[in-house]
Amino acid sequence: MKKAPVWLFFSALLLACGASLGRQRSGEAAELAPPWGRISASVAARANPYEGRTEAILAGRKLFRRHCTECHGADARGQGKAPDLLSPVVQEASPGTLLWFLKNGDLKEGMPSWSRLPDERLWQIITYLKTLRANQSGLR
């Protein structure tokens, strides 16, 4: 009969350890867990029609400031639950993957769907995001 309380104690200890591992320190941006596994190869292979175009980068920066800085910060480094958009996970993701993610979001992780924005605007945001890694100094 004494084994039940010991088992309960260790179960509670494991739960507490698991919960503390899931928490992040204040001021730290969350790490992005990519949902890329749900994306088909044909969607991931989509090319950005605006890649490298200066006007798209400028439009994307404006859209980013309007729609994304509240969660990801003006420097795109993330804040709270929002991930760092300069991270390799984001910067190495294909444009098609990023388009899918912007359109569909991940509400469970706090990312809204931006499907109400036309594809042109989403591609502009992606074009801008892809310039951030080269310009580590942040947004200007």
The full DSSP string for 28-64 is: PPBPP---GGGS-HHHHT---TTTT-HHHHHHHHHHH
pLDDT in tens, 82-135: 889 999 989 999 999 999 999 999 888 889 999 999 999 999 999 999 999 766
pLDDT band at 31 (very low <50, low <70, confident <90, very high): low
- Across 13-17, 20-24, 37-41, 55-59, the highest mean pLDDT is recorded for 55-59
Residue ranges and CATH numbers for the domains of the chain are 29-132 (1.10.760.10)
Q: pTM value?
A: 0.72
Find the length of the chain.
140
Q: What is the mean pLDDT of residues 48-68?
A: 97
pLDDT at residue 69, rounded to an integer:
95
Helix (H, G, I), strand (E, B) or coil at 83: strand
